[in-house]
Amino acid sequence: MSRRIVLGPFNRVEGDLELSLDLDADGRSVTAARVNSPLFRGFEQILVGRQPLDALAIVPRICGICSVAQSAAAAQALAQLAGVTPPPNGQLAQRLVQATENLADHLTHFYLFFMPDFAHPAYAGRPWHAAVAGRFRAGSGSAVGEVLPARARFFHLTGFLAGRWPHTLALQPGGSTKAMSSAERIRLLAILREFRAFLEQTLFGDALEAVLALPDADALQAWAAGRAGDLPLFLRAAADLGLERVGQAYERYLSFGAYDLLPAGIRQPGANGAFTVDRLETEKISEDIRHSWLTGPDTLPPAQGETLVDADKADAYTWCKAPRYADQPAETGALARQLLAGQPLLGDLVARHGASVTARVVARLLELALIVPQMEDWLRAIVPGEAFCLPVELPDSGEACGQVEAARGSLGHWLSVRRGHLERYQIIAPTTWNFSPRDRHDQPGPLEHALVGLPAGPDAPPTVQHVVRSFDPCMVCTVH
């Protein structure tokens, strides 16, 4: 006889999350999982009827963690609508603001949301437990006092470049409203140097370039052995717990591409354990609401999407929709981005065991090592005195789509304008992909799939928590 348990409120995620798990006859492992977001926010209705540029003030308020990514998606869609391309300085400034948010997010997630679970008493006998608990215990671990100032100082970049974080209006379809003087550029480089020092001394215990050069999983373990640094500490704990073999989803990875550096694409299983990498065809994206508290056709492409509430719908269990690519669930995030870019270490980790808790965490932290040096280059490429923002004139009607990468993965805004006002606005957030419910074919979403087979129940270690957090959920985005 199987039984069902409900986990919630789920803490240390952004927003509201509840899991419903069916356990096997012994009540010890998960046979089926349902992911419920018990919160609905309705931004798609809020946007309808507004003037198009108002989206820039509204969409950042979808999410306090990826508010800049939301701005960037709206700015990109509006730029497309107006047929304008920001000048080089404006593009560089936008990229810098977006990268700052993405990287700070990786740091917040690792230190404040993900790692505290390893302080759990279930791990008390493990050789690494005392060190990890002392460093990462929620609210009182020694790492908190180091990461918060590093994060706050790093965010000075957005103070300079975007006025403040979260919720800036600096990112515009024409570029960025904050032009930079050459003196400011020098000061921003100093902020990046300080952040690099934190990463190298505290997070990695090595130079960013050395971390990026690690070729495969064996080299990673050898590198971590005995090394001071928070990533090495995680890797020793993760190896002991076998987390490189835990948390596989569908092995289908989707990215919209970022910074002209990480390509857009879809990577999926091919014949004989191989995989294929294809160009992303946005037309193949749809959203399914079969098991959501929403009404309308079961599936629609986002450009025609609707978000109409039906709180009493039978068989529905979440406010989240189920985005699908060619009718298939897909995983998005830092791991997807870098697999599509052919990152060798992550390619090796995934070739051995598939996506896992370890691979997702390493992917996020590698992105810090990859992007900080890029940010140094972008800053140097800015030419003070040249334009940062072009004036923009929007047509009275039209359709457009903005596709960016937030820290957690692919974020798309689809909008249409009629008679100078927003007629439709649909958003697909990264966590909507990863935490989607079942669709009309009863295919579970990526997390629902990844939880099956995991230990659960009263005496189980927090494995379910590690897997959930390895996706870095953001439920407020999911339900807009």
Contacts of 5 (CB under 8 A, 6+ apart): 20, 21, 23, 456, 457
Site string for another protein, 168-187 (x = CB under 8 A): xxx-x-xxxxxx-x------
Closest contact distance (angstroms) between CB of 376 and another protein is: 19
Residue type, position 101, single letter? E
Closest contact distance (angstroms) between CB of 148 and another protein is: 4
Binders of another protein in range 231-250 (CB under 8 A): none
Binders of another protein in range 239-298 (CB under 8 A): none
Q: How far apart are CA 432 and CA 17, in angstroms?
A: 12
Cα torsion at 385, 387, 389, 391 (round to 10°)? 130
412 makes contact with another protein (CB under 8 A):
no
Closest contact distance (angstroms) between CB of 262 and another protein is: 24
Closest contact distance (angstroms) between CB of 177 and another protein is: 3
Instruction: Work out the number of other CB atoms within 10 angstroms of the CB of residue 91.
Output: 18
Binders of another protein in range 139-168 (CB under 8 A): 139-140, 144-145, 148-149, 151-153, 155-156, 158-168
Instruction: Work out the number of other CB atoms within 10 angstroms of the CB of residue 20.
Output: 17
Q: How far apart are CA 428 and CA 447, in angstroms?
A: 17
C-beta of 274 vs 314, nearer to another protein: 314
Q: How far apart are CA 195 and CA 150, in angstroms?
A: 7
Provide the token pair at 444: 């579970």
Among 30, 208, 235, 476, binds another protein (CB under 8 A): 476
C-beta of 149 vs 215, nearer to another protein: 149
Binders of another protein in range 62-101 (CB under 8 A): 62-65, 67
Closest contact distance (angstroms) between CB of 444 and another protein is: 19
Closest contact distance (angstroms) between CB of 178 and another protein is: 4
331 makes contact with another protein (CB under 8 A):
no
Tell me the CA distances in angstroms from 244 to 237, 346, 407, 467, one per residue in order. Answer: 11, 11, 21, 11
Closest contact distance (angstroms) between CB of 447 and another protein is: 15
C-beta of 54 vs 306, nearer to another protein: 54
Binders of another protein in range 300-329 (CB under 8 A): 309, 311, 319
Among 25, 57, 130, 381, binds another protein (CB under 8 A): 57
Contacts of 147 (CB under 8 A, 6+ apart): 107, 108, 111, 112, 202
Note the maximum CA span of the chain: 72
Among 134, 269, 384, 395, binds another protein (CB under 8 A): 384
Q: Give φ, ψ of 479 to 5 degrees.
A: -105, 10
Closest contact distance (angstroms) between CB of 278 and another protein is: 34
| Under 8 Å between Cβ of 87 and 415 | no
C-beta of 156 vs 352, nearer to another protein: 156
Closest contact distance (angstroms) between CB of 128 and another protein is: 18
Binders of another protein in range 121-140 (CB under 8 A): 137-140
Binders of another protein in range 4-43 (CB under 8 A): 6-18, 36, 38-43
Site string for another protein, 337-376 (x = CB under 8 A): ----------------------------------------
Q: How far apart are CA 441 and CA 217, in angstroms?
A: 36
C-beta of 108 vs 338, nearer to another protein: 108
56 makes contact with another protein (CB under 8 A):
yes
In which residue are the tokens 């679970």 written? 117
Binders of another protein in range 435-474 (CB under 8 A): 465
Which DSSP helix (H) or strand (E) runs through 136? helix 129-136
- Please say whether the dihedral angle defined by the alpha carbons of residues 198, 332, 246 and 351, taken in this order, is positive or negative: negative
Closest contact distance (angstroms) between CB of 74 and another protein is: 12
Rg (C-alpha) for the chain, rounded Å, is: 22
Cα torsion at 192, 209, 104, 445 (round to 10°)? 160
| SS3 call for 339 | helix
Question: Would you give the end-to-end CA distance of the chain in angstroms?
Answer: 38
Among 116, 232, 302, 473, binds another protein (CB under 8 A): 116
Closest contact distance (angstroms) between CB of 140 and another protein is: 7
Binding region for another protein (CB under 8 A) out of 196-204, 210-218, 355-363, 385-393: 385-393
